[in-house]
Chains A and B, each alone.
Chain A
């Protein structure tokens, strides 16, 4: 798939960790303001692929990355790049929520505070706005100073989303973001993705095909570190071109 103005463009990307060649010659474009899902069996490299988008693999030992990842046309693997402004462009929503060890309020305020010194009044407005954005405001407005870990897992995941949105990203990266959640919370998060794609490009790693079907515009199928097929969601799920994709969609490869 090629797009006129891709948000992320991956060119000839290879990732090796130790002797393990995890990603092999990846060339893909991620479209602007669409939901793109990365699907594939466990251990195929889909999470690794997602992590290359904001260089979260930097701290892994023995990792070797070659190739280019262009975010808004800027190669983020250029050794001279300042990484924090790239990471700021992408909100990460991991498998399980990891609230920062501080209050609900401070979780949201953390990002804006490290990127500037906002006034208390502006922060108050921002915190309220972001919590409303993820539908958490009514549930927490009376206990903003309580530790974030007191919230339920589903609430924590929405808090983490709001925390990511508070730094003003352009993109949301979701790494199986609903796999630890109950069905209702999953539903809420999925609805949020649908609402947020008007403003953000969203890339989701998921192993739930029905979820990929519900939320995605495009789907990338990864198998053994290679891109097997990439296309509109409808086509990948209903009319895949490759034999491997057909088998995976039917549930023969797990």
Chain B
């Protein structure tokens, strides 16, 4: 009896400790960014592009990187969705009699999922050289799109697989074609599509390696797809690398901005999801 009780206590303690370590480190990370970044946070940081001498401590902000990151993450997610939804539907609705084929495709995406983003960056860079495109917003969007496609495909695939086969049978029995049935399935997984978008956007906005060669860096907000674009992670990297304390502090402020952007998107999508569930399902 005592042994069982001790065992129970012991494993409970382990679980509590693990939970504390994990949530503790979360607060530690966010806390550090706040602590180091807040003193350097000001309106200029988010409303101005870097002025002359910004990287040696003179005035300006990182609006260029905020806008650049939004453009790249947003563009890549939209482009990624346009490609991934048909792929996920094709695997599930048109290849379902052919298990071997669909599983091969799934495995390919699993492999792509695990490839480090620098490889996507390098591949994007090669593509750009081949097509004669310079480091630009377009290059960044393409490289990050390659990065998020596996995430989107696998997430959508998992969600589509949760749709009961009977719902498809129901649509087919009414005389729907496969494509019409696919549209019904897409309606059924709408909340899952939002989750996929969120995951993809989060990954896209935080990735450095894929945009390193492909998007370049610029102190200006890009006005066309062919201009280079700054991104927040790269801006943080450059600023933290500076020996000037003022610039390092701004690096943390930029990290704070990036964290808040991700946080706001997460919270907004949660709210959207909740509203969706309340009204629709």
Please determine whether B281 and A147 come into contact, CB atoms closer than 8 angstroms: yes
Flag if A61 contacts B172 (CB, 8 Å). no
Which B-chain residue is minimally distant from A115 (CB atoms)? B175
Q: Are A101 and B187 in contact (CB under 8 A)?
A: yes
Interface residues of B in 118-168 (CB under 8 A from A): 164-168
Within 8 A of B (CB), among A100-116: 100-102, 110-111, 114-115
Residue of A nearest to B279 (CB): A147
Complex Cα–Cα for A59 and B176 (A): 14
Judge if B184 is at the interface, Cβ distance under 8 Å: yes
Q: Confirm or deny: A60 has a beta carbon within 8 angstroms of a beta carbon on chain B.
A: yes
Contact of B170 among A88, A94, A114, A147 (CB under 8 A): A94
Check B170–A85 contact: CB distance below 8 A: no
- A56→B187 contact, CB < 8 A: no
Chain B residues with CB under 8 A of A246: none
Partner of A87, one of B174, B184, B188: B174
Check A102/B187 contact, CB under 8 A, given A63-B97, A167-B174: yes
Residues of chain A contacted by B170 (CB below 8 angstroms): 92, 94, 98, 100, 160, 163
Of residues 67 to 88 in A, which have CB atoms within 8 Å of B's CB atoms? 84-85, 87-88
For residue A100, which residue of chain B has the nearest CB?
A: B184
Tell me, yes or no, whether A62 is within 8 Å of chain B by CB.
yes
- For B169, give the chain A residue with the smallest CB separation: A56
Q: Are B97 and A91 in contact (CB under 8 A)?
A: no
CA distance A130 to B96 in the complex (A): 34
Is there contact, CB below 8 Å, between B97 and A114? no
Q: Is the CB of A111 within 8 A of B175?
A: yes
Residues of B within 8 A of A147 (CB): 279-281
Q: Say yes or no: is A225 at the interface (Cβ < 8 Å to chain B).
A: no
For chain B, give the interface size range. 20 to 34
Residues of the B chain whose Cβ atoms lie less than 8 Å from the Cβ of A90: 173
User: Is the Cβ of B174 less than 8 Å from the Cβ of A111?
Assistant: yes
Min CB distance A180 to B, Å, is 11
Q: Does A45 contact B (CB under 8 A)?
A: no
- Are B175 and A84 in contact, CB atoms less than 8 angstroms apart? yes
Among B164, B176, B188, B280, the residue within 8 A (CB) of A114 is: B176
Closest CB in chain B relative to A96 CB, distance in Å:
7
Q: Does A54 contact B (CB under 8 A)?
A: yes
- Whether, in the assembled complex, B177 has its beta carbon less than 8 Å from a beta carbon of chain A, the answer is yes
* B275 part of interface (Cβ distance < 8 Å): no
Q: Answer yes or no: A149 CB below 8 A from chain B CBs.
A: yes
Give the 9 A-B CB pairs with smallest separation, nearest first.
A88-B175, A92-B173, A101-B188, A111-B174, A84-B175, A101-B187, A98-B167, A61-B99, A98-B170
- What are 6 A-B pairs at a CB distance below 8 A? A56-B172, A84-B176, A92-B169, A94-B170, A98-B170, A114-B180
Further 19 A-B residue pairs, CB within 8 A, beyond A100-B167, A111-B175: A54-B173, A61-B96, A62-B99, A63-B97, A87-B173, A88-B175, A94-B166, A94-B170, A95-B166, A98-B164, A100-B187, A101-B188, A102-B187, A114-B180, A147-B279, A149-B281, A164-B173, A167-B175, A173-B173
Q: A residues engaging B (CB < 8 A)?
A: 54, 56, 58-63, 84-85, 87-88, 90-92, 94-96, 98, 100-102, 110-111, 114-115, 147, 149, 160, 163-164, 167, 173
